[in-house]
């Protein structure tokens, strides 16, 4: 009997080694197992890691002169970035190499959204299903099973399913290895500085690493897709019956700020959790308030309480200390413009003094930047990089927002004569357009305070129209829409009024004519006319009575 039990134990051990992913899945029981395995290795991450670490109090952004001071955090690296402008608001070791664990899957989903169709059918290969580590997060998909790409993306982001990440990688890239190449190419395209991927799921590999700054860039790119936002904000999802499994499978989102009331955050959209023994806890989170989108990344945190606490700290810091501001690119409102990528000193100086609203430049009228609450736009420096065609606004070497521009380099030829002619033309135009302003400046009405005030208002209005042309055109169109109907109504009423006055004039004239005629007649003539009129009335009355007598009564 003892030998039989021993052989049974050995047999079970062999089965687990051959097919570890399948053990523990039998219908609904599988759901309970996978929900408990919130992170990549299925371990309990609520507790603290046994390894003791020293807290690094250094927050690099605190070293920026005039920058809001952020609290120290326990995580090894963290960042808070404005997702709209790309401005780094809070930074601690943001370029330090770290292991990402399952937050890798944000890049996997980003590439799937860019290169796939949500209605595509994904068929699970043997490699996709069986190549994942024992005990890592999965949803029990089997070889040959089929899901749509959309269903796969929910399984990746909510349940952190590693076999689904593999299947999507094979579907999009042809193989896991080719998909990893696509991941690295995309990272380079986004401007990542310390990232290298070798798989689509984040299972540990010494050559699979990233940094907080790079993960914020990757998340910023993914957040441009409405479908990504919809997926990460979903609390629960289920798979219907498939070609191989005849029952529903349910799973929930692992992010605590969405699922745990004690960790809820105002404006929270969604994110991705991660954990391996080497990476410790990693967490990406996004929130939006009044149109301001913030992205936080926390890496190498010693437990869930620390990663969620640190996330709240950096997000609160962002919302409490910063604001988004629109800068008019066509105004010279910044203290200086630095030209990069132009070797000719004369051309560079010409660019610094140029009107960006005219050739050879094409640039958007405004740029959104993220400013500390205590900083004014006049403190910013504008850098025009002609190697990347990017115009970026900086405060103390901290990029706050950028926009693209184009430069043909083909300046209009300008001779001395043409320059003088243009200057004279501009002067004449200004005199014609603002003659009153010019006269006051010359002292013609220097003592007239009313005219001086009027011209001051006119000059401000003229400046506003020049610097806000589009807004002025829209406002002018609205005013036309309002005042044209009023003008038409006024014209119609004016015509009616004139007609009424004309009739009244004719009536008065007729009355005066009758009065004049009466005054010209004698009393006898007037009396005779009255008697004749009275007689006529009597005759008419008699004729009426006779007609009534002749009319027979109705039976």
Encoded tokens for 274: 């991660």
Q: How many CB atoms lie within 10 A of CB 378?
A: 8
Q: What angle do CA 366, 474, 480 make, to 5 degrees?
A: 165
CA-angle at 488, arms to 487 and 489, nearest 5° = 90
> Residue 111 pairs with which residues in a beta bridge?
none
How are strands ordered across the β-sheet holding 361-363?
336-340, 381-385, 390-395, 398-407, 361-363
Would you state the structure tokens that stand for residue 487, as one six-digit string? Answer: 């003008």
Catalytic residues: 102, 105, 160
Q: Shortest CA distance to 175 belongs to which of 186, 166, 164, 183?
A: 166
455 contact partners, CB below 8 Å, separation of at least 6: 434, 436, 437, 440
CA atoms within a 13 Å half-sphere pointing along the CA-CB vector of 14: 6
The Cβ of residue 58 has, within 10 Å, a number of other Cβ atoms equal to: 11
Three-state secondary structure call for residue 440: helix
Cα separation, 555 vs 553, in Å, equals 6
Whose tokens are 């004014």? That residue is 376
Three-state DSSP state, 402: strand
Question: What region does 233 belong to: left with phi over 0, alpha with psi -120 to 50, or beta?
Answer: alpha
What does the chain come to in residues? Answer: 555
Give φ, ψ of 141 to 5 degrees: -70, 145
CA distances from 485 to 70, 475, 489, 493, 496 (A): 57, 16, 6, 12, 17
**For residue 20, what is the DSSP state?**
G
Alpha-carbon span 194 to 426, nearest angstrom: 53
Torsion of CA 500, 506, 508, 511, to 10 degrees: -140
Which three-class secondary structure string do you get for 329-397?
Answer: CCCCCCCEEEEECCCCHHHHHHHHCCCCCCCCEEECCEEEEEEECCCCHHHCEEEEECCCCEEEEEECC
- Picking from 364, 366, 376, the residue whose alpha carbon sits closest to that of residue 328 is 366
Q: Encode 290-329: b = buried (16+ Cβ within 10 Å), e = exposed.
A: eebbbbbbbbbbbbbbbbbbbbebbbbbbbebbebbebeb
Which among 300, 294, 303, 312 has a CA at the least distance from the CA of 103?
300
């Amino acid at each position: 009997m003892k030998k039989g039990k021993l052989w049974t134990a050995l047999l079970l051990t062999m089965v687990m080694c051959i097919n570890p992913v399948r053990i523990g899945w039998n219908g609904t029981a599988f759901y309970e197992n996978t929900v408990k395995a919130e992170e990549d290795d299925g371990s309990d991450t609520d507790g603290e890691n046994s390894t003791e670490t020293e807290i690094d109090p250094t927050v690099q952004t605190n070293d920026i002169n005039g920058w809001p001071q952020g609290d120290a955090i326990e995580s090894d690296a963290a960042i808070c970035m404005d997702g709209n402008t790309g401005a780094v608001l809070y930074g601690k070791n943001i370029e330090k190499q770290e292991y990402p664990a399952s937050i890798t899957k944000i890049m996997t989903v980003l590439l799937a959204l860019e290169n796939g169709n949500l209605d595509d059918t994904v068929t699970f290969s043997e490699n996709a299903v069986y190549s994942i580590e024992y005990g890592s997060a999965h949803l029990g998909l089997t070889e040959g099973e089929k899901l749509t790409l959309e269903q796969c993306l929910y399984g990746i982001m909510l349940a952190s399913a590693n076999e689904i990440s593999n299947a999507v990688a094979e579907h999009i890239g042809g193989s896991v290895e080719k998909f990893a190449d696509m991941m690295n190419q995309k990272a380079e395209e986004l401007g990542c500085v310390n990232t290298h991927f070798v798989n689509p799921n984040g299972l540990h590999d010494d050559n699979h690493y990233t940094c907080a700054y790079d993960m914020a860039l990757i998340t910023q790119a993914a957040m441009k897709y409405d479908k990504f936002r919809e997926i990460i904000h979903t609390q629960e999802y289920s798979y219907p019956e498939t070609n191989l499994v005849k029952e529903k499978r349910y799973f929930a989102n692992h992010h605590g700020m969405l699922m745990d009331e004690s960790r809820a955050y105002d404006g929270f959209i969604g994110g991705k959790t991660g954990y391996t023994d080497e990476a410790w806890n990693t967490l990406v989170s996004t929130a939006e308030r009044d149109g301001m989108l913030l992205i936080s990344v926390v890496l190498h945190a010693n437990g869930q309480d620390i990663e969620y606490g640190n996330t709240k700290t950096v997000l609160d810091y962002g919302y409490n200390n910063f604001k988004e501001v629109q800068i008019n690119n066509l105004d010279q409102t910044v203290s200086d413009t630095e030209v990069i990528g132009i070797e000719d000193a004369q051309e560079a100086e010409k660019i610094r003094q140029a009107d960006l609203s005219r050739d050879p430049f094409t640039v958007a009228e405004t740029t959104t930047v993220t400013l500390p609450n205590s900083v004014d736009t006049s403190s910013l420096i504008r850098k025009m990089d002609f190697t990347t065609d990017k115009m970026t606004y900086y405060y103390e070497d901290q990029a706050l927002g950028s926009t693209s521009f184009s430069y043909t380099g083909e300046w209009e030829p300008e001779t001395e004569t043409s320059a003088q002619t243009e200057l004279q033309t501009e002067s004449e135009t200004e005199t014609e357009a603002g003659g009153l302003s010019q006269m006051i400046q010359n002292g013609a009405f220097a003592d007239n305070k009313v005219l001086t005030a009027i011209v001051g208002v006119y000059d401000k209005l003229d400046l506003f129209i020049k610097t806000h042309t589009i807004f002025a055109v829209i406002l002018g169109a609205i005013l036309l829409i309002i005042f044209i109907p009023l003008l038409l109504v006024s014209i119609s009423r004016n015509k009616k009024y004139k007609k009424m006055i004309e009739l009244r004039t004719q009536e008065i004239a007729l009355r005066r004519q009758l009065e004049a005629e009466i005054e010209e007649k004698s009393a006898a003539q007037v009396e005779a006319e009255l008697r004749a009129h009275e007689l006529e009335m009597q005759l008419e009355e008699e004729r009426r009575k006779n007609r009534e007598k002749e009319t027979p009564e109705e039976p």
